[in-house]
Structure 1
Amino acid sequence: MKLAIKKILLSAAAALAFSSCSLEEDPYGFLSNDNFYKTAADAESALVYAYSVNSDIEYYSRHFIIATEVPTETLTIKPDAGADQHALDRLEVLNNNKIVEDMWRYPYLAINRTNAVIQNVPNTPEMDDTRREEIVGEAKFLRALHYFNLVRFFGEVIIREEQVSSVDQVNKGVSSIEEVYNFILKDLTEAEAVLSTERVYGRANQVAVWALLSKVYLHMASAKNTGVQGYEWVSNADENYTSAANYAKKVLQDQSTYTFENDLMETWNVSNRATAREHIFVSATDRGGLIEGEYTKLPMLFMPWAEGAPQVVLPNGTTIPGGGWEHLWIEDDFAANYEESDRRGTLEMIVNKVTIPEGGNDGADLELVYPGGGLQATFPMKYLDPDMVGQQATCDTPILRYTDIMMVYCEAIGPNSETYALLDQIRGRAGLSPLAGGMGIQEFRDYILEERGRELAFEGKRLFDLRRTNSMEKVLGDQYGKPMTSGIYYFDIPLIEVDTNPEIN
């Protein structure tokens, strides 16, 4: 079955590549359905088209990481980067910020494609009924994911349930945060009912739905519990914590495809990405792609320039290309936050030294170090592809990861022997001793917030974790001394949308 689906995907992608006259998209993201959705292959192609937005430069392959990590304590930006990125770093975010604009535009671009699938595939003739339902279910999962991103970035946003195919359909007002969450939960519940736990690389399945549901309920619960503005409508935080725990438990206990990876480095081994035990859902890329979006240049944002050397050797012996952009820098204070024995810090997962073979004046190896010795900053092992082709990389952006859901479960349940054991499993992989125990529930949840920062660093989770726990000032301001002016808990809807849509006030 898996091979059959993969063959369908390949043929669908090929069909889409050569059918621009049938399924066209102008710069506003409008789709034309003329002469399309006539066959099962058309339906598969449309779904591939919907997935493809995820790996765009302006979304998960680059700008999403900038938008969710640079405003926090984890990453900063090189001095000559664009003004909009430095504004994010300082949390002086205006409504004309181009990175934030992309966090509005690309989810809606993707939503329009999913709406086209949801609206048209049910009427596509000569399709297997089960596969028809699965395609619609995958599209509803994607739509829910994009709305979850939008509501966490902006708060009140526009709910678009139907495909937008003309400018006349653009004008629409925003819905309340409550209405957006109800829409997300409806999509995910309907997707859960028709998807199976079967794994297809880069695609959503029932386990991905459970994982996303656990995160949606946790966001509502923690935002209500900590008094985040905009979540007053949540009636009971404990009920939502229970729902988060129930769905996270399904991920941990009701399937066997994904599990905890004991080898810290193996989760980030791009050679085994299709079978990685932890990655429930990713934005998938391949260095063999024809255009950026099919491949990614995300590693270039982190990799060292290293005097433009063709190759550099990492402390663990891995060889990667030199000539990186050194665009995103790990914050010094954040790197120092790891215990000395924590393998996720500079002991293993944060690189502060590389070697250029025969790079010295006398032909000896040249060592570059940070600070003060040739590297501009430290960089993570998470986003590296030793087999890059030029600047083209295979480097999936993690969206839903098993360890993330383990911590969702622990946070939702609170301290007991089971949750301590799960957290000790994560700590043990990092080379740390077990927790002492005895924490009250708020102390326990505060610890998990810190642990999520260390474990999920640079994966596009930190801004949302700090926002949902009402911790932006406490962590960024009080602990790290980060200035904050605007865009702290919500970004403003981009000016370009406000100017073109008069129903947004």
Structure 2
Amino acid sequence: MKKIIGFSSIVILGMLSACDKKLDQTPISDQTTANFYTQPGDFIQAVNATYNSLLTYPDRQLNLSETRSDNLYAVSDGGVRDWEGINSFHRTIAGNPYVTEAWSGNYTGINRANVLLQKLSEKGESIIADGTLRTRLEAEAKFLRAFYYFDLVRWFGRVPVLDQTVTATEALNIGRSAVSDVYSLIISDLQFAAANLPDAYSTAADKGRATKYAAKGILALVYMTRSGPTYDINGPGLGLNEWGQALTLLNEIIASNKYSFLASYPNIFSYTNENNAEVIFDVQYSTGSNPIVGGTFPWLLAPDAWFQAVGKAVQGGLTIRPISNNLLNSYEAADTRKAFSIQPGFTSSNGVTETRSFFKKYVDLTKVPTNRLDWPINFIVLRYTDILLLKAECILHGAPGTPADVDAIVNQVRARAGLAAITNVTLARLMEERRKEFAAEGSRWHDLVRSGNIESIMTSWIAAEDVQKVMQPFQKNYILYPIPQSELDVKPGLYEQNLGY
């Protein structure tokens, strides 16, 4: 049979497992794509395995978006850390493990989706009698394939488009496609998903699967991202005016009445309130399962010394990734989100006082698992507040709506945070409101790129924040990450490196 590869990463179907805490987690042992798909449950396991590639998504957003942005001044305070080159705009990060994982992790998910789609086409009708289930599985696979490609295009710009399984020899002749071609596949897949996924799932076992509203929300963000400036870098922005298309989708989500605005900000992230009314799509985790399907993102931005200071085992965050003074000072005094999201220093078990602040948003010290790789809290990818604020953004870009509509949305969010109402919200002010609302959720870098203000904001931020004088001057080429060196080495000349590296 043909080998199914993820360009440089081989995908062995027998090693796939489900990521959802409630989805079927039965391992597919000693199987190949030739003999595995023999009953309906095999196809369900295969789509669950495609969700499995989401496991590293939260860590990726914190490492590549949050750390890259003006939210963190993550220079090293001892030893060489992988995040330092990300934070400081080093030109030599093509071999950085975070960058390599962003490529390989997404392509692993894409190939799992492609295998499933191929087998659904070849065997689905003869094995799965339920046509509704067949269509749903196809829609889930296409949603996930689009999701992974959207992540890739935001990090790397032009990437190879693979919409079917290929041989190793074929893969070595597939170069990078234009960003517009990558988007064509993403939009087609998401449109199919939005038309064919259910509004919701009726059984607890299906919690965490993508719905049509998840597809519409991601598609709206795709249109908005495409509408951002190009910066002349072959990046995610194409300068298109698709704010109206995005607004239509956002309004459909709002009008569905499937989701609502929670009155309490901490309750959105509570370990005992998962899958709440704010959640449109999340990455599901569990603790105590075999294979392990827990998360590592809760401790990623918190130092080990803090866990030790409160009587917990070290987790893996190592040294501190301090929150920037710029972000700390941007919070208004009454903003309740600051105390929930940020730990303002601590005294170590050795009596050393740490005055720098760091993110603790996802940490519940009463829920620390025995295994540091096995945190049970879900990671929210898309929530209702985001839908509302994205709607306000579209209106500010000329989509139907009024300044009063924008103010009303922003003031709803501010009121929950304990803040007074404001008027005449501008795009710059909206982005600052988003910055506090979604701090440590991995959206800041993407928001800066989409806003068109990343060059001016990052340049002035580096000048003010880089007291150690270790950061490189910002240039627009750094909006994208380099193509991983491991990919360049597979076949020299197949891919050209992104400019600036």
Return the TM-score normalized by structure 1: 0.82
Equivalent position amino acid for 1:301 in 2? L
Task: Show the 5 A alignment for 1:221-260.
Answer: 221-223=227-229, 229-230=233-234, 234=238, 236-237=240-241, 240-253=242-255, 255-260=256-261
Structure 1 match to 2:453: 471
1:418 counterpart = 2:397? no
1:156 corresponding residue in structure 2 = 158
- Cα drift, residue 388 of structure 1: 2.2
Q: For residue 63 of structure 1, report the CA deviation from its aligned partner.
A: 3.3
Question: Per the alignment, in what secondary structure is the counterpart of residue 185 of structure 1?
Answer: helix
Map 1:19-98; keep pairs closer than 5 Å. Answer: 19-22=28-31, 32-55=32-55, 59-77=56-74, 78-80=76-78, 82-94=80-92, 95-98=94-97
> In structure 1, what residue type is equivalent to 2:120?
V
Supply the distance in 1 between the matched residues of 2:165 and 2:488 (Cα, whole angstroms). Answer: 20
Separation (CA, whole Å) in 2 of partners of 1:176 and 1:296: 34
Q: Which residue does 1:13 correspond to in 2?
A: 25
The residue that corresponds to 1:316 in the other structure is none
Query: Counterpart of 1:3?
Result: none
Alignment check: 8 A CA contact 1:472 1:488 kept: no
Which TM-score applies when normalising by structure 2? 0.83
Output the CA distance in 1 between the equivalents of 2:167 and 2:176: 19
Is 1:331 aligned with 2:333? no
Q: Spell out the pairing of 1:266-281 with structure 2 (5 A cutoff).
A: 266-273=267-274, 275-281=275-281
1:451 paired to 2:433: yes
Matched-pair contact (CA < 8 Å) for 1:107–1:150:
yes
Per-residue deviation, residues 186-226 of structure 1 (Å, max 9, x unmatched): 111111111111044221110101110110111112336xx
Alpha-carbon distance in 2 for matches of 1:289, 1:93: 40
**Change over 3 Å in CA distance of 1:266–1:171 after alignment to 2:** same
The AA in structure 2 aligned to 1:408 is L
Q: Which runs of 4+ in 1 moved over 4 A?
A: 8-11, 231-236, 306-312, 353-356
Q: What secondary structure does 1:488 align onto?
A: helix
Deviations 1:149-169 (A, max 9, x none): 111111111000112454553
1:135: how far off?
A: 0.7
* Cα displacement string for residues 289-327 of structure 1 (whole angstroms, at most 9, x for unaligned residues): 3355x1122223234545764846xxxxxxxx4645454
Equivalent residue for 2:353? 373
Cα distance change of structure 1 residues 233 and 52 upon mapping to structure 2, 3 Å threshold? closer
By how many angstroms is 1:67 displaced? 0.9
Q: Secondary structure at the match of 1:399?
A: strand
Pair 1:461 & 2:461 matched: no
* Long gaps (5+) in structure 1: 1-5, 23-31, 313-320, 361-367
CA offsets 1:124-158 (integer angstroms, 9 cap, x no match): 23311101111110111111111111111111110
Does the CA-based 8 Å contact 2:225-2:236 persist in structure 1? no
Structure 2 counterpart of 1:66, one-letter code: N
Q: Does 1:389 align with 2:369?
A: yes
Q: 8 Å contact 1:115–1:162 — kept in the other structure?
A: yes
Deviation at 1:20, TM superposition (A): 2.4
Distance 2:78 2:386 in 1: 34
Equivalent position SS for 1:400: strand
1:433 maps to: 420
- Is 1:264 the counterpart of 2:265? The answer is yes
8 Å contact 1:306–1:374 — kept in the other structure? no
Which of 219, 222, 230 is the equivalent residue of 1:213? 219
SS at 2:177's partner residue?
coil
Percent of matched pairs sharing the same residue: 24
Find the aligned partners of 2:159 and 2:306 in 1 and give their Cα distance.
45
Are the counterparts in 2 of residues 154 and 490 from structure 1 also a CA contact under 8 Å?
yes
Aligned length: 451
Partners of 2:79 and 2:54 in 1: CA distance: 24
C-alpha distance in 1, partners of 2:365/2:113? 31
1-structure distance, mates of 2:260, 2:46: 31
State the alpha-carbon separation in 1 of the partners of residues 101 and 43 from structure 2: 27
Secondary structure of 1:108's aligned partner: helix
Pair 1:142-2:124 in alignment: no
Relative to structure 1, the CA distance from residue 349 to residue 81 in structure 2 (aligned partners, 3 Å threshold; closer, same or farther) is same
Cα distance change of structure 1 residues 90 and 375 upon mapping to structure 2, 3 Å threshold: same
Sort the Cα spacing of 1:308 and 1:90 in 2 relative to 1 into closer, same or farther, 3 A: closer
Distance 2:218 2:345 in 1: 37
CA distance in 2, matches of 1:276, 1:251: 16
Q: Which amino acid aligns with 2:271?
A: V
Aligned equivalents of 1:327, 1:353: Cα separation in 2: 10
Over the aligned positions, Cα root-mean-square deviation in angstroms equals: 2.8
Q: Which residue of 2 aligns with 1:131?
A: 133
The residue number in structure 2 matching 1:290 is 290
C-alpha distance in structure 1 between counterparts of 2:79 and 2:366, whole Å = 26
Indicate the SS of the match to 1:344: helix
CA distance in 2, matches of 1:76, 1:265: 25
Taking a change above 3 Å as real, the CA distance of residues 335 and 147 of structure 1, as seen in their structure-2 partners, is same
Counterpart code for 2:29: S
Structure-1 separation of matches of 2:225 and 2:314: 40
Maintained 8 Å contact 1:173/1:503:
yes
Change (3 A) 1:251 1:159: same
Where in structure 2 are there 5+ consecutive unaligned residues? 1-17, 397-401, 497-501
Partners of 1:342 and 1:228 in 2: CA distance: 38
Comparing 393-402 with 131-140, greater Cα deviation is found at 393-402
Tell me which residue corresponds to 2:478: 488
Cα offset, 1:493, TM superposition:
1.3
8 A contact 2:229–2:239 mirrored in 1:
no
Paired with 2:57 and 2:53, the residues of 1 have a C-alpha distance of 8
Paired residue type of 2:329 = A
Secondary structure at 1:75 match in 2: coil
- In structure 2, relative to structure 1, the CA distance for the partners of 1:307 and 1:43 (3 Å cut) is closer
Equivalent pair of 2:344/2:356 in contact (CA under 8 Å): no
User: What CA distance in whole angstroms lies between the structure 1 residues aligned with 2:306 and 2:394?
Assistant: 48
CA displacement, residues 53-83 of structure 1 (integer Å, 9 cap, x when unaligned): 111xxx3242331111111111243524644
CA distance in 2, matches of 1:11, 1:457: 29
In structure 1, what is the Cα distance between the partners aligned to 2:178 and 2:252? 30
Inter-partner Cα distance in structure 2 for 1:153 and 1:385: 33
Please give the secondary structure, in 1, of the residue aligned with 2:220.
helix
